Amino acid sequence: MKEFDLIGRYFSNCGHKRKDVVIGIGDDCAVTTVPENQQLAVTTDTLVAGVHFLKDAPAKSVAYKTVAVNLSDLAAMGAEPAWISLSLSLPEVDEAWLDDFVAGLYELTQYYSVQLIGGDTVKGPMAMTITAQGFIPPGSELTRSGAKPGDWLYVTGTLGDAGAGLDILQNKLSVSGEAKDVLINRHYFPTPRVAVGTAIRRIATSCIDISDGLISDLGHILKASNCGANVHVERLPLSRALTSAVSPEQAIEYALSAGDDYELIFTVSEEQHGSLETSLASTNVKATCIGQLTGHNGKLSLLKSNEKYTPVAAAGYEHSF
């Protein structure tokens, strides 16, 4: 199959259509319209087979995750997603694989009203790069650097599930029954917290998504904001699937260090503390307070029953070259 035949069959005139896309797939560039009184947020992520997803991962999950991690970055900034571009590198054209891939791609973009507006296809090692764009009202963007000592620390959803799911797939963890399916599904199909990001952008002081693990990603907020944090590990939100699959200590370890959850970590000042529940009411997503920021620059203190807690795995995933 030639490149333009592939694009025409799988990507042109498919998926969600937005009124703010003037020219989409088919020309040298896409042309879009940014709404009045909105800023444009832009993020790019590359996922490589064998590094960011298993080489035998289902095609639908590969596409879903590729889109989700980019939408999660937009969510962490408080942006409403609008458009994506896709660069797709494939060693060969497998039509059945591509059918499943585009099914995952369009399922997620349709749900979040996002349009695929362009990209590229090449022959090479399997990898996907997406550039995602979204809108933020001026002055309401969330960053990593706005937190202050005394702010309360929150996380959405539950932590550690995706990491446990990956270990199951790699035969590092033996789990059976419904818990196995739930944990694997959380690894394959993460949920970008877009609604939460837009709901908290007027009250949160900082935010980041959890891609490399709670300890690692929280560290970015602490460094950028010149703060420390006390985190109470007994408050970490854990799913029933995870706690039924591993010991309590193992569950805490997954929650602290495993990546790929794509939940949000954010901070809220004491003054806005009471407004959080109201802001999140329409999202149907629970946020759990796991600690508080301190004035100890960069120092993360893990506590259990107010005693120092030392994790077995002290850091999350770190990219290397």
Q: Which residues are annotated as a binding site for ATP?
A: 119-120, 144, 211
Instruction: Specify binding-site residues for substrate.
Output: 52, 260, 317
What is the identity of the amino acid at 258? Answer: A
CA distance 132 to 77: 12
DSSP state of 144: S
Q: Which residues of 246-260 are buried (b: 16+ CB within 10 A; e: fewer)?
A: beeebbbbbbbbbbb
CA distance 266 to 142: 9
Mark residue 239 as left, alpha or beta (left: phi above 0; alpha: psi -120 to 50; beta: remaining): beta
Instruction: Specify binding-site residues.
Output: 28, 43-45, 52, 73, 119-120, 144, 209, 211-212, 260, 317
Instruction: Specify binding-site residues for Mg(2+).
Output: 28, 43-45, 73, 120, 209, 212
Closest CA to 222 of 271, 265, 160, 158: 265
Q: Which helix (H) or strand (E) holds 307?
A: strand 307-308
Helix (H, G, I), strand (E, B) or coil at 84: strand
